[in-house]
Chain A
Amino acid sequence: MFKLITTDRQNYRMKSERLFQYFLKLSGVLILMMAIGIIVTLIIGSIPTFKEFGFGFIYSPDWNPTEGRESYGALPFIIGTIVTSLLALAFTFPFAFSIALFLGEYFREGRMASILKSMIDLLAGIPSVVYGLWGFYTIKPIIVELGLNAQGFGIFTSSFVLAIMIIPYASSLSAEVINMVPSNLKEAAYSLGATRFEVVKNVIIPNAGSGIFAGFILAFGRAIGETMAVTMLIGNSNNIPTNLFDLGNTMASLIANQFGEADGLKYTSLVAMGLLLFVLTGILNLIGKMIMKKFTA
């Protein structure tokens, strides 16, 4: 009688164990299917555009929704995206790099480090729209004041705000990598009479270099996909920007701006733009992760 109960109990436990595993597998499959579903809908949704313009969609400079003369090309937005993000990266680099060195080498622990870390977490946690507002009410007037551009909107303004937004990504990854440089290499250098600066320059940077690079690639990927703040600040012009203070649009900001009133070919062209953006950030992420993996292996 007693024995019977225990086997029953065991049976029950086995069953719930199997059920749980089944559930885990199911969620895995579901997520995979969702990802594939998104890609497939993007591809299907963009077919009419590629049928109409072919690869010309990617390099055509016109975005003209006027009925009868409709023509959609992604070039101004691809350029806008790359220029904005590269400029943001250039602004970010000195700050993120210093913060990474600070956290990864100079002050690994202690109060300063934890204050700086929480500041960076704070920056990472601020919603994009708040950055957009701050850019609009604080940076834009300064740009106007300085006479850099009449309205204060544009590539430069967006890049500036974007740079602050990606500092956390670039710096925390790089700090991690710098932190991982083996201490026995640093000790070897110190034992040869190197100063701290010489150790940083000749041991830490060469050994962490590829990892730092990967950190900045991943940050670049974030910058490319960033939408809200850029949409609020870039000025939303569909022409190819000719200088850094020009108005423009990124791929993401164009989609955010125009998806509401789009149908037909315009709609499918926005979907195609989404596909391009997806592929671009996907590739950047992959490269960054691959370098990172090689580094940590």
Chain B
Amino acid sequence: MESTILNKEDEKIIQIESTILNIDELSVSYGGDKYSIDKVSAGIQKNKITAIMGPSGCGKSTLLRAINRMHELYPETHHKGSITLGGEDIYKINPIQLRRKIGMVFQRPNPFPTMSIYDNVIAAYILNGIKLKRSEKNEIVERSLREVGLWDETKDVLHKRGTFLSGGQQQRLCIARALAYKPEVILLDEPTSALDPIATAKIEDLLVKLKKNYTIILVTHNMGQAARISDYSMFMYLGELVEYGKTKKMFTTPKDERTEAYLMGKFG
């Protein structure tokens, strides 16, 4: 449970609450000896929303993708340090198993265009070749779509392609797809940056509801969004985790002057 949290008072609180993911001195490189994130340490709290903020290129996506090992899709990557999920070293778990426990939602809604809405929800099972009974499938589809508030809108068109939906609906479908395996953690990389304000508000409400059952880590370039819905915030700058603590506190009394400058809109 050793985690470097720069805000001393928060540290106590964070220690009291339960850490589900512990990131310890994690550095990630896309090749060579240049590290895109450098010695990041943080304890991610269970059933909370943690926002990762920072100017573009500071390593937010890299950190997020290290958590479900998606960064390994680039063959040259390597890392130092460790991440544990519920005490278990994620780099010792088979990435395929790991990704079932840690779902991911991307910047652009990306439902599979060749699949129906129904199949998109159970895509994880289809991809992994897991055979389910009809009734089990129906149950997963209904449960997941209800969870993201998409059931009423889609229950009569389940066998249409997912790409017929609006952008916001597509993104909720992608969240439902990530929930179908009942993961413990959901990673979202700027999930509303391609959406209009109304669709964005819906997703924000949804995330707040979802934290009852899941731990949520959200990369956002939108400070307002972090302030509205996150419990904890990280501020990253040039690959470094500058500040991590309770969102309220960080927005009112940032400890680091770089955080303050960022929150005052002084960089991207």
**A residues at B contact (CB < 8 Å):** 182, 184-185, 187-195, 198-199, 202-203, 206-207
**Complex CA distance for A191 and B96, rounded to whole angstroms:** 8
Please judge, given known A-B contacts A193-B97, A198-B128, A198-B129, whether A188 and B113 are in contact too, CB under 8 Å: no
Q: Is the CB of A184 within 8 A of B114?
A: no
> Hey, which chain B residues are within 8 Å of A198, CB to CB?
127-129
> Hey, which chain B residues are within 8 Å of A190, CB to CB?
70, 73, 99
Q: Is the CB of B70 within 8 A of A187?
A: yes
Please judge, given known A-B contacts A192-B124, A193-B100, A202-B126, whether A187 and B73 are in contact too, CB under 8 Å: yes
Q: Is the CB of A193 within 8 A of B99?
A: yes
Does B262 belong to the interface (CB within 8 Å)? Answer: no
> Hey, which chain B residues are within 8 Å of A193, CB to CB?
96-97, 99-100, 124, 127-128, 181
Does B108 belong to the interface (CB within 8 Å)? Answer: yes
A-B contact sample (19 more), CB < 8 A, given A188-B106, A192-B123, A198-B127: A182-B110, A187-B73, A190-B70, A191-B68, A191-B99, A192-B100, A192-B124, A192-B128, A192-B177, A192-B181, A193-B96, A193-B99, A193-B100, A193-B181, A194-B128, A195-B96, A203-B112, A203-B127, A207-B112
Smallest CB–CB gap between A131 and chain B, Å? 37
From B68, B129, B174, contact of A188 by CB (8 A): B174
Size bracket, chain B contacts: 20 to 34
Within 8 A of A (CB), among B112-171: 112-114, 123-124, 126-129
Q: Is the CB of A184 within 8 A of B127?
A: no
**Complex CA distance for A165 and B99, rounded to whole angstroms:** 44
Within 8 A of A (CB), among B73-126: 73, 96-97, 99-100, 103-104, 106, 108, 110, 112-114, 123-124, 126
Q: Name 16 interchain pairs, CB-CB below 8 A, sorted by A.
A: A182-B110, A184-B106, A185-B112, A187-B106, A189-B112, A191-B106, A192-B99, A192-B127, A192-B128, A192-B181, A193-B181, A194-B96, A194-B128, A195-B96, A206-B112, A206-B114
Does B203 belong to the interface (CB within 8 Å)? Answer: no
**What 5 pairs between A and B have smallest CB-CB spacing?**
A191-B104, A194-B127, A192-B124, A206-B114, A193-B99
Q: Is the CB of A191 within 8 A of B112?
A: no
Smallest CB–CB gap between A18 and chain B, Å? 47
Smallest CB–CB gap between A178 and chain B, Å? 14
> Hey, which chain A residues are within 8 Å of B96, CB to CB?
193-195
Does B236 belong to the interface (CB within 8 Å)? Answer: no
CB closest chain-B residue, reference A199 = B127
Does B250 belong to the interface (CB within 8 Å)? Answer: no
CB closest chain-A residue, reference B73 = A190
Does B178 belong to the interface (CB within 8 Å)? Answer: yes
**Complex CA distance for A192 and B123, rounded to whole angstroms:** 8
Smallest CB–CB gap between A211 and chain B, Å? 13
**Complex CA distance for A207 and B113, rounded to whole angstroms:** 8
**Complex CA distance for A195 and B127, rounded to whole angstroms:** 8
**Complex CA distance for A187 and B73, rounded to whole angstroms:** 9
**Complex CA distance for A267 and B126, rounded to whole angstroms:** 60
CB closest chain-B residue, reference A198 = B127
Q: Is the CB of B128 within 8 A of A191?
A: no
CB closest chain-B residue, reference A186 = B73
CB closest chain-A residue, reference B174 = A188
> Hey, which chain B residues are within 8 Å of A189, CB to CB?
112, 123, 127
Smallest CB–CB gap between B104 and chain A, Å? 4
Q: Is the CB of A184 within 8 A of B110?
A: yes
CB closest chain-A residue, reference B128 = A193
Q: Is the CB of B110 within 8 A of A188?
A: yes
Within 8 A of A (CB), among B51-81: 68, 70, 73
**Complex CA distance for A189 and B126, rounded to whole angstroms:** 10
CB closest chain-B residue, reference A185 = B110
Q: Is the CB of B124 within 8 A of A184?
A: no
> Hey, which chain A residues are within 8 Å of B99, CB to CB?
190-193
Please judge, given known A-B contacts A192-B99, A193-B97, A195-B96, whether A202 and B106 are in contact too, CB under 8 Å: no
Smallest CB–CB gap between B114 and chain A, Å? 4
CB closest chain-A residue, reference B180 = A192
Please judge, given known A-B contacts A185-B110, A203-B112, whether A191 and B70 are in contact too, CB under 8 Å: yes
> Hey, which chain A residues are within 8 Å of B177, CB to CB?
188, 192
**Complex CA distance for A188 and B127, rounded to whole angstroms:** 11
> Hey, which chain B residues are within 8 Å of A194, CB to CB?
96, 127-128
CB closest chain-B residue, reference A196 = B73
**Complex CA distance for A184 and B190, rounded to whole angstroms:** 14
- Proximity bits, B17-38, A CB within 8 Å = 1, else 0: 0000000000000000000000
Smallest CB–CB gap between A105 and chain B, Å? 12
CB closest chain-B residue, reference A206 = B114
